[in-house]
């Protein structure tokens, strides 16, 4: 692996959680490309009922045989999400991980006012449900979603250290999304 390649991708690689290249060093061969597999598991659980950790194997690097198969599986998952009417909208249009909460709050509020709020209000049909990932994000944006009369549910960040682990939140995602789809049909 070329560890000097970081500078080749500087400014040309976006680490959105749903980006196929994020974490896939076959696509972007840089040391800092660690990815966000935890979010892929959340996305997967929105349209797939999971009963064990092995259920995520189609989309995870360590369990899927072959890069091409994994990419096809991730593309299929994104298509399934689209067909189910499930959208992913980040609370910030800029990376804010590692910043203090005061700065994160200002950035998220500005992003809400300038971009995210207008996008959500312009959607037709209106979202049936907004799943907010992270208690901090919910603290900042929850009242704004309620002001728009949008049903919203919060699940913790997947990296949170939770007693009993994170698995129950994958089930909750499936339940939330399934109920929203059933109410919309």
The per-residue pLDDT of the chain, averaged, comes to: 87
Model confidence at 1, pLDDT cuts 50, 70, 90, reads very low
Domain parsing of the chain, residue ranges: 6-83, 101-162+179-184
Whether the per-residue pLDDT at 103 is higher than 90: the answer is yes
Backbone φ/ψ region at 48: left (φ over 0), alpha (ψ -120 to 50), beta: beta
Model confidence at 70, pLDDT cuts 50, 70, 90, reads very high
pLDDT at 184: 67
First to last CA, the chain: 48
Please give the radius of gyration of the chain, using alpha carbons only, rounded to the nearest integer.
17
What confidence tens digit (pLDDT) does each residue in 108-162 have?
A: 999 999 999 999 999 888 888 889 999 999 999 999 999 999 888 999 998 888 8
Looking at residues 12-41, what average pLDDT do you find?
Answer: 85
Percent of the chain with pLDDT over 90: 47
Whether the per-residue pLDDT at 75 is higher than 80: the answer is yes
Buried b / exposed e over 8-40, threshold 16 CB at 10 Å, is eeeeebebebebebbbbbeebebeebebbbebb
Q: Are 167 and 56 in contact (CB under 8 A)?
A: no
Looking at residues 46-56, what average pLDDT do you find?
Answer: 89
Model confidence at 42, pLDDT cuts 50, 70, 90, reads very high
How far is it, in rounded angstroms, from Cα 90 to Cα 116?
8
pLDDT at 72: 94
Whether the per-residue pLDDT at 7 is higher than 70: the answer is no
pLDDT at 69: 92
pTM for the full model?
0.85
How far is it, in rounded angstroms, from Cα 150 to Cα 127?
7
Q: What does the block give as tokens for 156?
A: 């913790």
**Which residue, 89, 85, 40, is CA-closest to 62?**
40
pLDDT at 5: 53
């Amino acid at each position: 692996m070329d560890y000097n390649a970081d500078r080749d991708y500087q400014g040309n690689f976006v680490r959105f959680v749903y980006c196929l290249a994020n974490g896939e060093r076959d696509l972007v061969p840089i040391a800092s490309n660690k990815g966000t597999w935890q979010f892929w598991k959340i996305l997967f659980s929105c349209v797939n009922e999971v009963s064990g950790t092995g259920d995520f194997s189609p989309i995870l690097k360590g369990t899927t045989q072959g890069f091409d198969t994994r990419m096809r599986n991730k593309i299929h998952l994104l298509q399934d999400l689209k067909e189910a009417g499930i959208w992913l909208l980040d609370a910030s249009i800029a990376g804010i991980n590692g910043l203090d909460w005061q700065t994160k709050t200002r950035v998220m509020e500005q992003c809400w006012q300038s971009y995210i709020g207008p996008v959500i209000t312009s959607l037709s049909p209106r979202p049936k449900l907004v799943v907010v990932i992270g208690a901090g994000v919910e603290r900042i944006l929850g009242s704004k979603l309620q002001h728009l009369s949008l049903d919203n549910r919060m699940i913790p960040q997947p990296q949170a250290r939770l007693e009993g682990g994170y698995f129950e939140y994958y089930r909750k995602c499936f339940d939330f999304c399934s109920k929203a789809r059933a109410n919309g049909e």
